[in-house]
Chains A and B, each alone.
Chain A
């Protein structure tokens, strides 16, 4: 379970990265859905209420960063967060493959909702490229897996450092 403060910090960091990437490497920012990744990762470790509120907050930030209709990404992120949280209560998400699949599914659901709402509301001419959506899901999923691997390694390193420090204290 992720605390609200840590989630807020992570969301702020992701928003900053999104902005910087959008300025420096717009193509990369367009390919990886960092905010959706954050929503899915948060929902994997929390209950459905955390998924819903996390999706709501992340979606509001994404709506603020983008120029589309206000509420569009909020709705999509809410659905993704709630659905992933409900799914994580029914299946084991400790394995990285399952987590990667949930991330990919979350990105695809997010994309389908955004494109579907834009089409139904006729706000913009949306070129629904299936390959682009799939590649976006795969790359975001890959980024998520890298993050999970790095986080795991970091956790192991921290544990190892703490163990060594404790031994030194005992030997003295």
Chain B
């Protein structure tokens, strides 16, 4: 008989004898089975856990790789946009130089937290918490914007806070123009929350729904070219002017931060006798 067969026979005899021994002590046989089964189950469980971990790791890695590809694409896109912006800025500087145009000094923006918003009540205001280094300054009549566009102007400030009169308030008025045609009018709040009215645009002026409305920079307070909203409706208002509905570009329902422009407005005395624009 070959050694291999003898080894198999030996294994069979050992197993048989172990079974015989445990069969004589069934209680202990159960304990012995548990004693053997426990580490085996622990080992199998550990292997399964590690396999699961490796599988999850591979899935996470695939997700990260996919995200990485997307982010690289996004970076490329932003780099292209940035390059286009730099090019446009250089072109603009060149044209400005040729036209001998001197832009106003850059406004210094102050980032502030929005701590209170009321855009449904009679007085539509927001309250900003000023950063510690800016609490002693007088921020009255300073423009307030967000990344989306014009939010309003500071009505009063003190105690580390600034109250902002929203652009949708009925007492608010901003010099505005239709971006496409550069025709100017006045944006005012209406009784309906979240709807602005572009006023004093004659009937012969071309205005269409979808036109962007931006600040005109003619009210002594707000800088030019800040997005205000989009035209939603155009109707005739009597014989002279359009009745134009505008939806604000700033989503008043999701405000978290705002920028206060550290920009000196035109002194109030200079605007006496005007039509109330900017007050």
* B contacts with A, residue count (CB < 8 A): 20
Q: How far is the CB of B86 from chain A (nearest CB, A)?
A: 81
Which residues on A sit within 8 Å (CB–CB) of B18?
75
Stretch at the interface among B19-27, B61-69, B137-145, B195-203: B19-27
Give the interface SS of chain B, mostly helix, strand, loop or mixed.
Answer: helix
**CA gap between A123 and B29 in the complex, in Å:** 11
In the complex where A69-B21, A120-B35, A121-B21 touch, is A78 in contact with B13 (Cβ < 8 A)?
Answer: yes
Q: Is the CB of A82 within 8 A of B10?
A: yes
A56 an interface residue at 8 Å Cβ cutoff? yes
Q: Return chain A residues, CB-CB under 8 Å to B7.
A: 48
- B25 near A48 with CB under 8 A, answer no
Are B17 and A49 neighbours in the complex by a CB distance under 8 Å? no
B14 contacts the other chain (Cβ, under 8 Å)?
yes
Counting CB contacts under 8 A, is B28 at the interface? Answer: yes
A71 touches B6 (CB 8 A): no
B37 within 8 A of A: no
Q: Verify if B3 is at the interface (C-beta below 8 Å from A).
A: yes
Contact of B13 among A52, A72, A117, A120 (CB under 8 A): A52
Contacts of B13 in A (CB 8 A): 52, 56, 78
* Highest count of chain A CB atoms <10 Å: which of B6, B9, B10, B31: B10
Minimum C-beta distance from A152 to chain B (A): 29
**Whole-angstrom CA separation of A121 from B9 in the bound complex:** 24
Q: From residue A68, how far is it (CB to closest CB) to chain B in Å?
A: 10
Contact B25 A121 (CB under 8 A): yes
Do residues B3 and A123 form an inter-chain contact, with CB atoms below 8 A? no
Q: How far is the CB of B216 from chain A (nearest CB, A)?
A: 95
CB of B1 within 8 Å of the partner chain: yes
| Given A70-B20, A75-B17, A75-B21, A52 contacting B10 (CB threshold 8 A) | yes
Whether the pair A71, B1 counts as a contact (CB closer than 8 A) is no
Task: Give B24's nearest chain A residue, CB to CB.
Answer: A69
Cα–Cα distance between A167 and B1 once the two chains are bound (Å): 44
Given the known interface contacts A48-B3, A82-B10, the answer about A122 and B17 at a Cβ–Cβ threshold of 8 Å is no
Does residue B32 face the partner (Cβ distance < 8 Å to A)? yes
Given A52-B9, A75-B14, A78-B14, A123 and B20 touching (CB < 8 A)?
A: no
The bracket for how many chain A residues form the interface is: 10 to 19
Identify which of A49, A70, A74, A120 contacts B32 (C-beta below 8 A).
A120
Does A34 sit at the interface, judged by CB under 8 A? no
Q: Are A71 and B35 in contact (CB under 8 A)?
A: no
Using known A-B contacts A48-B3, A72-B21, A78-B17, determine if residue A121 contacts B28 with beta carbons closer than 8 Å. yes
Which residues of chain B are within 8 angstroms of A70 by Cβ–Cβ distance?
A: 20, 24
**Chain B residues within 8 Å of A49, by CB:** 1, 6, 9
CA distance in complex: A123, B35 (Å): 16
Q: Please judge, given known A-B contacts A69-B21, A75-B18, A117-B21, whether A122 and B28 are in contact too, CB under 8 Å.
A: yes
**Chain B residues near A52 (CB-CB < 8 A):** 6, 9-10, 13
A79 at the interface (CB under 8 A from B): yes
The answer to whether A123 and B10 have CB atoms under 8 Å apart is: no
Expressed in whole angstroms, the Cα–Cα distance for A69 and B20 within the complex equals 9
Q: Which residue of B lies closest to A86 (CB)?
A: B3
Closest 10 CB pairs of A and B: A75-B17, A71-B20, A121-B28, A48-B6, A71-B17, A49-B6, A82-B10, A71-B21, A121-B25, A122-B28
Q: Give me 20 A-to-B residue pairs in the complex whose CB atoms sit less than 8 angstroms apart, sorted by A's number.
A: A48-B3, A52-B13, A56-B13, A69-B24, A69-B25, A71-B21, A71-B24, A75-B17, A75-B21, A78-B14, A78-B17, A82-B6, A82-B10, A117-B21, A121-B25, A121-B28, A121-B32, A122-B25, A122-B31, A123-B25
